Structure 1
Amino acid sequence: MNKIENKKTILILTAQFGAGHISAAKAIKEYILQKDDSINVVIENFISASVPRINKPMVKMYERNTKYVPGLYNYYYYIKKSFDSKFDISYKIYMPKLAEYIKSIDPDLIISTFPCAAACINDFNIKNPHKKIPSITVITDVVDSLEWIFKTTDMYFVPSHEIKNRYVQKGMAPEIFRVTGVPVSSKFICDKKIKSDKLKLLLIGGGRGLFDFDESFMHWLDEYLYEYKNVLDVTIVTGSNKKLYENLTIKKPLENIDVKGFVTNMSDLLKNYDLMLTKSGGATLFEAISSNTPIIVKNPKVGQEIENAKFIRDKGIGILYDTDEDLKELIKDLVNKKLDSRLIFMDKNISEFKKTIHPDKIADYIFQLLENN
């Protein structure tokens, strides 16, 4: 192991707005400890560490806005995307409590996986120039939004070379970027899959089990598989959505689809499936890329997910659809082998893209910054 003199502390600040920010934080901790298990790695929700009473209401508001008024959410998202972050003062409600928390932890390095957390670290470093703490920001969607960018940040982990190039075109120094992809657990890495006689399709609605199609589609698919279950093997993961799990297993049980509730072995599941039907979140997207799994995604309505969907299309690593009827036609094309050549095409594109990102160097980049400060 590569040890650093004296025990070092790394603080990772994250947030609960979607699962991707937290999963990126956990993945980074895993990479750090694989390289040096003597490092003290602390993961903290920056809102819980500063104004804990507003965490749940803000998460609920985020979920409602993205679901029911995506147009309003996108209005603010795209303003912030091109708006110099120095003019955004929303972070101030978390200071000075967060500053007290940071001082109590006394970290040697701070990593952010959420833009407002990065804003807080920037504010802390500006106000404490005698004790500037090295900082890294991890951009968890395939976006080039200015809301992630702050003057005192030492290094950025970005999802792709295109995102690095866009930031450089905006006047940023190329040497502060590291192209890592969105960090996901190394457990997802699978370079070559063992193919079975059947095509295996995994349906995932994220940790909360919220899908872009309703239950009627699931029942349609179940009935459709009566004739094609020797061709297509389907599993649905309902996550923490207990009501949906009960509906599909007890109230009106599916007969030709394997229904799972909350799972702890998602990486193992993903390695055994040929295709995933899911949402276009940054973490989910890079879990699919790590495991060489092409994805099917509904064209999203929310800012960062729209950008992720553009990436899926431009890289040729997934299939986008608009309606449940479109999705039914896709399923029919799958079982009738009309998409076989496209699946091979997407597999190849994922393998080629993986050569351009360096998640295996995440710990090296972090330790380089630690050692240089």
Structure 2
Amino acid sequence: MSILSGKTILILTAGFGAGHVSAANAIKNSILQSEENVNIVIKNFIDASVPKLNKPMVKFYEKNTKYTPELYNCYYYLKKSFTSKYDLAHRVYTPKLSRFIEDLNPDLIISTFPLAAACVNNFRNSDDGYFIPAVTVITDVVDSMEWIFENTELYFVPSIEIKNRFMQRGISPDKVEVVGVPISDTFRVEKKDYKKGKYRIIIMGGGRGLFDISEDFMRWIDDFISNEGSSIEATIVTGTNDKLYNNLTKKSPLKNIKVLGFVNNMDELLKSHDLMLTKPGGATLFEAIYSKTPLLVKIPKLGQEIENGKFIIDKGIGLLYSDEEDLQAILKNIASGKFDSTISFMNNNIESFRQTIQPENIALYIENILEKYSI
């Protein structure tokens, strides 16, 4: 019988972007594939502590990252360099989250958001707290100090480079496993079918449909396909951006680009496209890697996305562009066939990187932690 049988596992996540929740769900599914008799509770750590703050904090995050990225970066890079004991934010959530933990009394806590990991650390250090094994899942390609706490038995990290950086910070390599950013197995493809002479590009702006390209540029792509880009097929996914969806499908419909609204089959869409034009979120990177879909990404401005952008360059799994004029040149080269070798090179790099991560071992690593610390 698996040591997971009959256990209760709490996975703490947050609503700041979709990546933290998708990682939580991926870990849950990985555990349940190994052992069905497990009680897995996924909980937004703010909802479990001060629920009235959840919507205001998410809105503040969205506005901050959109309108004042410089201010956001100042805060981010402070957290990257200094231990979170100097950050007072998590202390707001710790008391009530601690009571939630006590009531649930889980056998293991997994955190997919740094403030949640901070609260678990505080719980373990408090007079009323007690030992519960803690696992932290890094959901961007970063080594920020905001993720690192003394009361953590295991870290799941995105790449071997992040493991090496954690070791430089004094963390035992035995406490760090390289699994990538956990995402659903449904994105995984071993052999991808290609259309000869066609490049299928999917254009995404996340669930909220906030793109790094303008609506005018989308229309430029539409015209370009008509005039000289017949080798390109494009799909735009507008998410919950209903205004943009209506503009592109009803008010002034695109002629050559397929436009979708909010979708639940992103895995299937990525498998049927050759390139992804998108934002560099941690989950998005690994959806691209799992589905063998190289990336086109605008040079990012936000802290963790800047780090993810460096990862794209260092691993050679995508191209970064500076502005729409730069992107025009890339699309023209793709359409003319000048980028054939580049795209092949990126696909080979994705394949090589996939060999360095072990997402299939997530449940095994969790079993080992439970066995090590079982009473």
Flag whether TM exceeds 0.5 (same fold): yes
| Cα pair 2:229 2:332 within 8 Å, conserved | no
- The yes-or-no answer on 1:364 pairing with 2:369 is no
Q: Deviations over 1:313-349 (max 9, x none)?
A: 0110000001011111111111001110000000000
Q: C-alpha separation between the residues in 2 aligned to 1:172 and 1:60? A: 34
Aligned residue number for residue 178 of structure 2: 179
The residue aligned with 1:232 is 232
Q: Which amino acid aligns with 1:352?
A: S
Deviations 1:274-327 (A, max 9, x none): 110000000000110011110000001000000000000011000000101111
Q: Distance in 2 between matches of 1:211 and 1:89?
A: 33
| Counterparts of 1:278 and 1:180, CA distance in 2 | 23
Q: How does 1:87-126 map to 2 (within 5 A)?
A: 87-126=86-125
Structure 1 residue 87 displacement after superposition: 2.7
TM-score (norm 2): 0.97
Confirm whether residue 327 of structure 1 aligns to residue 327 of structure 2.
yes
Q: Are positions 1:271 and 2:271 aligned together?
A: yes
State, as a whole percentage, how many aligned pairs show the same letter: 58
The answer for unaligned runs of 5 or more in structure 1 is: none
Deviation at 1:232, TM superposition (A): 0.9
Deviations 1:159-197 (A, max 9, x none): 101011011112211110000001011111112201112
Maintained 8 Å contact 1:122/1:153 = yes
Could you tell me which residue of structure 2 aligns to residue 15 of structure 1? 14
CA distance in 1 between partners of 2:127 and 2:25 (Å): 28
- Once the two structures are superposed, the pairs formed by residues 193-272 of structure 1 within 5 Å of their partners are 193-197=192-196, 198-228=198-228, 230-272=230-272
Q: Take 1:213 and 1:105, find their aligned partners in 2: how far apart are those partners?
A: 45
C-alpha change, 1:208 and 1:30, in structure 2 (3 Å) is same
Aligned partners of 1:229 and 1:256 also within 8 Å: no
Aligned counterparts of 2:129 and 2:242: Cα–Cα separation in 1:
51
For the 8 Å contact 2:135–2:153, the answer to whether it is kept is yes
Correspondence list, 1:53-202, <5 A: 53-127=52-126, 131-197=130-196, 198-202=198-202
Q: What's the secondary structure of 1:131's corresponding residue?
A: coil
Counterparts in 2 of 1:287 and 1:102: CA distance versus 1, 3 Å: same
State the shift of 1:89 in Å.
Answer: 2.7
The 8 Å contact of residues 202 and 235 in structure 1, kept in 2 or not, is answered as yes
Question: Aligned partners of 2:218, 2:311: CA distance in 1, in Å?
Answer: 27
The SS at the match of 2:194 is coil
The residue type paired with residue 16 of structure 1 is G
**In structure 2, C-alpha distance between the alignment counterparts of 1:23 and 1:128, rounded to whole Å:** 33
Tell me the alpha carbon deviations over residues 141-161 of structure 1, each in whole angstroms, 9 at most, x when there is no partner: 000100000011000000101
SS in structure 1 opposite 2:110? strand
For 1:228 and 1:46, the matched residues in 2 are separated by 51
1:95 aligns to what SS in structure 2? helix
Given that 1:27 and 1:185 are in contact with CA atoms closer than 8 Å, whether structure 2 keeps it comes out as: yes
**Equivalent residues of 1:113, 1:139 under 8 A apart:** yes
SS in 1 for 2:171: coil
CA deviation after TM superposition for structure 1 residue 3, in Å: 3.1
1:64 partner letter: K
Query: Residue type of the partner of 1:296?
Result: L
8 Å CA contact 1:237, 1:262 repeated in 2: yes
Return the offset for 1:130. 7.1
| 8 Å Cα contact 1:239-1:261 kept in structure 2 | yes
| Equivalent residue letter for 1:216 | D
The 1:253–1:81 alpha-carbon spacing in structure 2 relative to 1, beyond 3 Å, is same
Q: Quote how far apart the aligned CAs of 1:241 are.
A: 1.1
Distance in 2, Cα, partners of 1:29 & 1:132: 22
Of stretches 130-139 and 242-251 in structure 1, the one that deviates more from structure 2 is 130-139
Give 3-state SS (helix, strand or coil) of 1:157's partner: strand
Q: Offset of 1:227 from its aligned partner?
A: 2.9
SS of the residue aligned with 1:372? Answer: helix
Specify the code of the residue in structure 2 equivalent to 1:193.
K
* Distance in 1 (alpha carbons) for counterparts of 2:132 and 2:152: 9
2:347 matches 1:347: yes
Deviation of 1:7 after TM superposition, in Å, equals 1.2
Report the Cα distance in structure 2 between the residues aligned to 1:5 and 1:84, rounded to whole angstroms.
Answer: 33
Partners in 2 of 1:230 and 1:91 — Cα distance?
53
Secondary structure, aligned partner of 1:96: helix
Amino acid aligned to 1:172: I
Cα drift, residue 229 of structure 1:
5.8
Structure 2 Cα separation of the partners of residues 128 and 283 of structure 1: 37
Q: Find the counterpart in structure 2 of residue 293 from structure 1.
A: 293
What TM-score, normalized to structure 1?
A: 0.97
Counterpart of 1:80, as a letter, is K
Distance in 1, Cα, partners of 2:349 & 2:5 = 44
Two-structure CA RMSD over aligned residues (Å): 1.3
CA contact (8 A) 2:280 2:309 kept: yes
8 Å Cα contact 1:86/1:150 also seen in 2: no
